[in-house]
Amino acid sequence: MPRKPPVADPAYDQLRVDPPESWAAGLPGVTSAMSYALGELGPRRALTLLSRMNQKDGFDCMSCAWPDPDHRTRAEFCENGARAVTWEATTLTVPTSFWASHSLTDLASRSEYWLGQQGRLVEPVHKAAGSDHYEPISWVEPFRLVASRLRALESPDQAAFYTSGRAANETAFVYQLFVRAFGTNNLPDCSNMCHESTGTAMLETLGVGKSTIAYDDFATSDLIIVMGQNPGTNHPRMLGALEDAKRNGAAIVAVNPLPEAGLRRFKNPKTVRGLVGRGTDLADQFLQIRSGGDMALLQWISRRVLQAEDAHPGTVLDHEFLAEHTDGLAQFRAHLALFDEDAALTATGLAREEMDELADRYLSADRVIVTWAMGITQHRKGVDTIKEIVNLLLLRGNIGRPGAGASPIRGHSNVQGDRTMGIWERPPAAFLDALADEFSFEPPRRHGFDSVQAIEAMQRGEIKVWFALGGNLVAAISDTAAAEEAMRGTDLTVQVSTKLNRSHVVTGAEALILPTLGRTDVDLQASGAQFVSVEDSVCAVHATHGAVPPVSDNLLSEVSIVTRLARAVLGDDGPIDWAGFEHDYDTIRESISRVVPGFEDFNRLIRRKGGFVLPNGPRDSRTFATSTGRARITVNELVPVECPDGRLILQTIRSHDQFNTTTYSLNDRYRGIHGGRDVVFVNPSDLVDLGLSDGSRVDVVSEWPGEPDRVLRNQRVVAYPTSRGCAAAYFPEANVLVSLSSTALGSNTPVSKAVIVRLEPAAPPTAP
């Protein structure tokens, strides 16, 4: 019998703060995950699902994009993966009566956590303009309605079509095809807010916007530098790969403003020493860097490498590789000759000895991998910082050989695949040409809006219709108040979703929610059960098969929703066989094999156990599809984060029991937080300087030039070992502090890791 959904939103008066943990996973990870899964799914459903998860003939975890090892274990999942599956596969459903008893005004007062606990969506619902309630409708209605609204637009560019990284390859391909056949490139997606800085930097310098390593390279590396990433929570199975690397003699260096448990020690629950012993120490060196100081650190090490070369010419740099495969070394040398070490010491907040120790580790390592995530990409200079990662790796030829390379780790299961399938507001001409050849229509060439630009276009009244394939943009994006106001200014919002979230509550004048199948659900079409595919962080593409019957017969797959909408909007007499696509997904893959490079013979390759790995020039053959045909060593100006006295540099973070904007519980056990999320983490010495103390209540106020202050109210101060001058608070709540104008140069990714804030005693709560 499924549990009852919570009626009231949990009050945060049960908040408990314990000292942070010094290790990750272990028995608590197992018990926490299993009690959640068994409690929510029951033993049989939990066993069926967890035993099929990430298996070669099973389904792919819908959470992060950590790759699967070729040799899968019986329990090929982590605690947060088990949570993600349990959250999606609950048998609790939102009853029809829910919509009558909960107005949007009521739902707007509910937390993300409460909304997500209401169960799976199982019927399409419509909110008419002027109404404060959703009402259930049949499946015929939404397609007719959306089609009439889209056709009534003066231009296709008055609509925008968002994609969350959960969409599978086949879905993403037909979706972008529909949107382009409709006539726009307004295809914002969640990677605009996460690894867009990565794509921008790597495409320019290496000719590929993805990892240049294979899974097995982790085990053969000598040095793995983990920058701006918290794998213990956001990519937990990575801890297993780091443990294997250590066992093979690798050194690990972690660079992060927060001493995250998962960077320090791993108790692998698949081993005895992990279950009952001490586990494995991970970081050999932990650099507690000042937020935004990574670029200065990277330039410091590159400078040390060049100095070592000058001291022993011909023995340090990989001259053969540099001469044959790169350009820009001379300009880089000249630039770093003027390097200001004092500025770097200030920017990093690190000691000279610490940075030199890392430089020595780099110089003594033959094969080096650098991994990174949001702590690097969500900065004003995020793009240039990633270019400096590439610079450092190129100096000693750490690209395109075993155990070495650049490896951004993606946070959403198929965010990389979606981009590969054409979900991009700035599509390459070659992709559009291939689309035109395959489908005999001329796709739009004018670039569309990314996520931030889409909100800005809404503010200007240019976007009338917002269609979202999954996701929760109003919560995920920066400047919550402005984003919500913009979204409410549209005429129609449509959300294709499995469960409730804030984006169902903050709507246009008219709104639709279209319930869809999840990754765990069997997808039956006229030609039989269908499978879809995903691409992980190291460019491996594999199939994912639903494992359990859907919780309701009234659900449509994302492919069905997109293809039926396309037929309603574009008709059935065009060059694209939408019905055929829905009938049998092999036909979608046939077209993908002719349009997307690397997917030739897709239908045969995807049926291989474990799938296949996409070609990758830098990894496979040290070929670089850049503007010069060579790997580019670039010159980047160091601009440290300026933080006035009495202010702090705040970063937004996830709790351990959270995936993107989805909150599984109100706990963050690694950081010692239980039963609440209204906390701000501050270094004890900063608290003394600010005249504040652990436990006091503050308003967190952010400052952005030329704009009014933004406030996150009534947060409990937690004295926490952050780096000096740096603070942290959970998103999506803290997104209210980030100006929409505060974005990374070159990628337009919101700068959520360096928000200048002041802490003020909490203002007394205003009467409701």
Residue ranges that bind ligand SF4, judged by CB under 6 A: 54, 61, 63-64, 66, 77-78, 80-81, 235-237
Please answer whether residues 390 and 396 qualify as being in contact, where contact means their C-beta atoms are separated by less than 8 angstroms. no
In whole angstroms, the minimum distance from the beta carbon of 659 to ligand SF4 comes to: 7
CA trace torsion 329, 335, 338, 341 (10° rounding): -80
Shortest distance (Å) from residue 55 CB to ligand SF4: 12
Name the residue nearer to ligand SF4 (CB basis): 33 or 336. Answer: 33
The minimum distance between CB 291 and ligand SF4, in angstroms, equals 25
Q: How far is the CB of 77 from ligand SF4 (least distance, A)?
A: 4
Retrieve residue 88's tokens. 């999606």
CB 368 to ligand SF4: min, Å: 23
- In the complex, the smallest distance separating the C-beta of residue 61 from ligand SF4, rounded to whole angstroms, is 3
Neighbours of 13 (CB within 10 A): 7
Yes or no: say if 361 and 223 are a contact pair by the CB < 8 Å rule: yes
Q: How far is the CB of 536 from ligand SF4 (least distance, A)?
A: 8
Around Cβ 203, how many Cβ atoms within 10 Å?
A: 16
The two tokens of residue 585 are 């997904």
Nearer to ligand SF4, 55 or 634 (CB): 55
Shortest separation between residue 261's beta carbon and ligand SF4, angstroms: 16
Q: Which is nearer to ligand SF4, 210 or 235 (CB)?
A: 235
Which lies closer to ligand SF4 via its Cβ, residue 303 or residue 519? 519
Inter-CA distances, 70 with 214, 216, 520, Å: 11, 9, 21
CB 125 within 8 A of CB 137: yes
Q: How far is the CB of 516 from ligand SF4 (least distance, A)?
A: 20
Q: Give 288-354 as a DSSP string.
A: -PPTT-HHHHHHHHHHHHHHHHHHSTTSSS-HHHHHHHEE-HHHHHHHHHT--HHHHHHHH---HHH
Residue 762 class from Cβ within 10 Å (0-12 exposed, 13-18 middle, 19+ buried)?
Answer: middle
Least Cβ distance, residue 215 to ligand SF4 (angstroms): 12
- Least Å distance, CB 67 to ligand SF4, is 8
> Smaller CB distance to ligand SF4: residue 59 or 431?
59
Q: Please report how close the Cβ of residue 216 comes to ligand SF4 at its closest, in angstroms.
A: 17
Give the SS3 label for residue 96.
Answer: coil
- Helices of type H across 623-748: 684-690
Distance CA 167, CA 470 (A): 7
Q: Using the minimum distance from each CB to ligand SF4, give the nearer residue, 78 or 570.
A: 78
Residue nearest to ligand SF4 (CB): 81
- Closest CB to ligand SF4 among residues 207, 236: 236
| C-beta neighbour count of 244 within 10 angstroms | 17
Please say which residue, 61 or 514, places its beta carbon nearer to ligand SF4: 61
Exposed e or buried b per residue across 322-358, where buried means at least 16 C-beta atoms within 10 angstroms of its C-beta: beebbbbbeebbebbeeeeeeebbebbbbeeebbebb
Q: Rounded to whole angstroms, how far apart are CA atoms 651 and 336?
A: 29
Question: For residues 412 and 567, which CB has a smaller minimum distance to ligand SF4 in the complex?
Answer: 412
E-assigned strand segments in 71-181: 125-127, 135-136, 159-163
> Do residues 221 and 215 make contact, with C-beta atoms less than 8 angstroms apart?
no
Using DSSP bridges, classify how beta strands 673-674 and 16-17 pair: parallel, antiparallel or unpaired. Answer: antiparallel
Question: Largest Cα–Cα distance of the chain, in whole Å?
Answer: 77
- Is residue 635 a contact partner of residue 329, using CB atoms and an 8 Å limit? no
Tell me the C-alpha distance between 548 and 45, whole Å: 8
Choice between 24 and 150, CB closer to ligand SF4: 24
Shortest distance in whole angstroms from residue 529 CB to ligand SF4: 23
Name residue, tokens 């932990």. 286
Asked whether the beta carbons of 570 and 178 are under 8 A apart, the reply is: yes
Smallest distance, ligand SF4 to C-beta of residue 58, A? 12
Rg (CA), the chain: 25
Angstrom distance (rounded) from CA 405 to CA 242: 15
- Residue 736 dihedral angles phi and psi, to the nearest 5°: -60, -20
Nearer to ligand SF4, 67 or 279 (CB): 67
What sign does the CA torsion over 444, 447, 453, 456 have? negative
> Least separation, in Å, of the C-beta of 82 and ligand SF4?
7
Name which of 81 and 292 has its Cβ closer to ligand SF4.
Answer: 81
Compute the distance between CA of residue 469 and CA of residue 357 in angstroms, rounded to an integer. Answer: 47
**In the complex, least distance from residue 752 CB atom to ligand SF4, rounded to whole angstroms:** 21
Task: Considering the complex, state which of residue 300 and residue 664 has its C-beta at the smaller distance from ligand SF4.
Answer: 664
By C-beta, is 238 or 358 nearer to ligand SF4? 238
- Give the whole-angstrom CA distance, residue 227 versus residue 294: 8
Question: Residues 295, 342: contact at Cβ < 8 Å?
Answer: no
- Select 51 or 131, whichever has its Cβ closest to ligand SF4: 51
Choose between 78 and 301: whose C-beta lies nearer to ligand SF4. 78
In 395-445, which ranges are E strands?
405-408
Which residue, 66 or 266, has its beta carbon nearer to ligand SF4? 66
CB-count burial class (<10 Å; 0-12, 13-18, 19+) for 4: exposed
* Shortest reach from residue 240's CB to ligand SF4, in Å: 9
User: What is the helix (H) or strand (E) element at residue 113, kind and residue range?
Assistant: helix 112-116
Closest to ligand SF4 by CB, 233 vs 563, is 233
The secondary element (H helix, E strand) that includes residue 727 is strand 726-730
Shortest separation between residue 199's beta carbon and ligand SF4, angstroms: 20
